[in-house]
Amino acid sequence: MTARRQALLLALRYYWNELVRLRRYSLPALIFPALGNTCILYIAPLVVAQLAGHLADGGTDVLPYVAAFFGLMLLAEVFWRIGIHMLNRAEVLGSENLNTVGMNALLAKDVAFFHDNFAGSLTKRELSFASRFVDIVDTMAFSVVASIIPLGFASVVLWTYDPLLVLLLLGMIAITGLLIAPMIRRRQEMVDNREAAIARVSGHVADSLTNMETVRAFAAEDREAAEHKARVAEYRRLALRAWDYANLKIDMVVAPLLVLTNALGLFIAVSLGNLGVEEVVVTFTYFTAATRIMFEFNSIYRRLESSLTEAAQFTELLLDPPTVLDPDDPEKLEHTGAEVRFDNVCFTHAGTSSPLFTGLNLTVPSGTKVGLVGRSGGGKSTLTKLLLRMMDIEGGRILIGDQDISKLKQADVRSLIAYVPQDPAMFHRTLKQNIAFARPDATDEEIVRAAKAAHVTEFAADLPQGFDTLVGERGVKLSGGQRQRVALARAILRDAPILLLDEATSALDSESEILVQQALWRLMEGRTAIVVAHRLSTVAQMDQLVVLDRGEIVEQGSHAELLGLGGTYARLWQHQSGGFLDDTEEAVSR
């Protein structure tokens, strides 16, 4: 089974489960509109036909027939109001739950997953997964069930006239379905291509808008506009291809069969000889109404396939389960200390064949401040990601205290760590909310205290609404240094026993760095601190320095001890430029 077919079936299963879960609403939502249609399309015409027959026989008392007609139309309206009332609740509650399910599924994905997918495309897919449930239920209620139940009633009435009428009607409907089924399957491929094209359009739009400053800086507006135009043109071509196939091929098969069915039904009704005017009128009316199903095959399927195809674009993401999972029976967090130990760790980055770590051993005693240094690609940042369980190791263990982090819930592991990345992520929320993200239950006083410690208050006072200022998408209203100070304030507010800093001061100017480093040293007191730095001066005072090169620890010791060795660290120190590692050192050391 192809991945796309699996995704379609998975989407269908999610929707079916919602209908079952909400059957209190979904069942009447499906049935009552069908009952309303039965009253309007089949029972009311039957009453009118009986009235016509009554008048043809010389009858004059029409009031009972008119009253019956009035009552049926009024009853149909009541059925429709009840059905729509229930339908509204089924759709709203179902889409609400599916939105939650979709978001939870995305939140469970590995960090690497988001590196491979556009945020805009993921957003569209997740929202469509929920919203298309409404389209599916509408189609089932107003087109599918609302046609099948009345068709059953019509078949019973026509059977009393002559079984041949029922056999003809149902037989022609079945033949039509069999003839267009392979054509519909062919069109499914076209719809898949069309939906993939619109996903590429939305992904490009999101990518361009997110990086608008870069687009402006490189005067690339025309280039991005041309790319967008090309992608939209591709979508237009694929959409027209799918729509024309439905109009020029599928409908061209259905239309003649629909006309033939009506003509044959009328011919049989007239030629039977035992049917009066009333029966002939009813037969014609029923055939005309029932054969609409044949003509709507394509439109019904088109709506269903479009909804399911779009939903499947999301469920396709769920076919590959996350690789970083909580254990089935997680251990309880025991708070056995803040020692961090990498025990014979083996790890290979996804998409690469050469392992980065092969039996790495590193112990960071509780309360110790350790700096990780070395040229880019040595594995420093990877160690921080592994400790946070953003990725899982292939062999060995990582322990915090006496507990293997792979046996704990991910949330429990991360509750022990305050993390500041090199490129801090900001939410399009207020400055205060961005700081409080580390601890949502923090008081305003605690937030301000953390902001002062990270020297956030110095620029917050100049913002239009102070701490209530929206910082923009990804924090675009703040400078790089300001974003790093906000990230440091988060870490301070987190108040965790382990502090993890990955180039946490790289975007600060010299004056700000001095102030922030003072705050960091106060924060690191009594905590286990692991600090990644290219600027060696920021970690020279650490208790221990660990030099990583191509996934191996080549040196370990204090700043003075490593300088005394005259090895890799000493050469790195000697060849710094402006306090940063000079990549030319690699050539010098050869």
pLDDT tens readout for residues 311-323: 888 888 888 888 8
Phi-psi label, residue 477: left if phi above 0, alpha if psi -120 to 50, beta otherwise: alpha
pLDDT tens readout for residues 119-157: 777 888 888 899 999 999 999 999 889 888 888 888 998
Q: What is the model's pLDDT at position 586?
A: 41
Tokens read off for 94? 């179902």
Listing DSSP states for 367-409 in one string gives T-EEEEE-STTSSHHHHHHHHTTSS--SEEEEEETTEEGGGS-
Least confident of 92-96, 191-195, 233-237, 390-394: 191-195
**Does 282 have pLDDT greater than 90?**
no
**Does 246 have pLDDT greater than 60?**
yes
Q: Which among 128, 96, 112 has a CA at the least distance from the CA of 202?
A: 128
Q: What percentage of the chain has pLDDT greater than the value 70?
A: 95
Please report the sign of the dihedral spanned by the C-alpha atoms of residue 556, residue 559, residue 560, residue 563: positive
3-319 and 340-577 agree in CATH topology: no
Q: Which among 312, 500, 531, 318 has a CA at the least distance from the CA of 416?
A: 500
Higher pLDDT, 337 or 19: 19
Residue type present at position 402 = D
Confidence of residue 396 (pLDDT cuts 50, 70, 90): very high
Confidence of residue 512 (pLDDT cuts 50, 70, 90): low
CATH number for 3-319: choose from 1.20.1250.20, 3.30.70.1060, 3.40.640.10, 1.20.1560.10: 1.20.1560.10
Confidence of residue 214 (pLDDT cuts 50, 70, 90): confident
Confidence of residue 511 (pLDDT cuts 50, 70, 90): low
Q: Where are the alpha helices (DSSP H) in 272-319?
A: 277-290, 292-315
Residue type present at position 525 = E
Contact 481, 454 (CB under 8 A): no
- Give the phi and the psi of residue 323 in degrees, each rounded to 5: -90, -25
Find residue 263's DSSP bridge partners: none
**Does 75 have pLDDT greater than 90?**
yes
* Three-class SS state of 419: strand
User: Based on C-alpha coordinates, what's the Rg of the chain?
Assistant: 35
Helix (H) or strand (E) holding 418: strand 417-420
Rounded to an integer, what distance in angstroms lies between the CA atom of residue 280 and that of residue 50?
A: 11
* Three-class SS state of 417: strand
Sheet containing 340-347, strands listed edge to edge, beginning at the edge strand earlier in sequence? 357-364, 340-347, 395-400, 403-404
**Does 582 have pLDDT greater than 60?**
no
Contact 531, 368 (CB under 8 A): no
294 class by beta-carbon count within 10 Å (0-12 exposed, 13-18 middle, 19+ buried): buried
What secondary structure letter does DSSP report for 470? B
Rounded to an integer, what distance in angstroms lies between the CA atom of residue 515 and that of residue 70?
A: 84
**Does 89 have pLDDT greater than 80?**
yes
Q: Which among 357, 363, 368, 369 has a CA at the least distance from the CA of 400?
A: 363
Q: What is the model's pLDDT at position 83?
A: 94
For residues 373-392, give the mean pLDDT. 88
pLDDT tens readout for residues 334-368: 887 889 999 999 999 887 888 999 999 999 999 99
* Three-class SS state of 357: strand
E strand map for 421-543: 498-502, 528-532
pLDDT tens readout for residues 571-581: 888 876 444 44
Tokens read off for 304? 């269903």
Higher pLDDT, 391 or 277: 391
Confidence of residue 1 (pLDDT cuts 50, 70, 90): low
Q: What is the model's pLDDT at position 583?
A: 45
Rounded to an integer, what distance in angstroms lies between the CA atom of residue 474 and that of residue 423?
A: 10
Contact 391, 111 (CB under 8 A): yes
Q: What is the model's pLDDT at position 579?
A: 45
Tokens read off for 325? 């999972």
Q: Where are the alpha helices (DSSP H) in 380-526?
A: 380-387, 410-414, 431-436, 444-453, 457-460, 480-494, 510-524
Tokens read off for 292? 């609409």
Q: What is the model's pLDDT at position 585?
A: 41
Q: Which among 524, 531, 497 has a CA at the least distance from the CA of 336?
A: 497
CA dihedral angle for residue 39, residue 43, residue 45, residue 50, rounded to 10 degrees = -150
CA distances from 552 to 385, 397, 536 (A): 17, 16, 19
**Does 26 have pLDDT greater than 90?**
yes
Q: Angle CA(105)–CA(106)–CA(107) in degrees, nearest 5?
A: 95
**Does 587 have pLDDT greater than 80?**
no
For residues 528-542, give the mean pLDDT. 85
Q: Where are the alpha helices (DSSP H) in 140-220?
A: 145-161, 163-210, 212-217
Find residue 556's DSSP bridge partners: 546
Q: Residues with Cβ < 8 Å from 185, sequence gap 6 or more?
A: none
Contact 207, 170 (CB under 8 A): no
Q: What is the mean pLDDT of the chain?
A: 85
What are the residue ranges spanned by the domains of the chain?
Answer: 3-319, 340-577
Q: What share of the chain is helix, strand, coil (3-state, %, to 5)?
A: 65, 10, 25
In this structure, CATH architecture of domain 340-577: 3-Layer(aba) Sandwich (3.40)
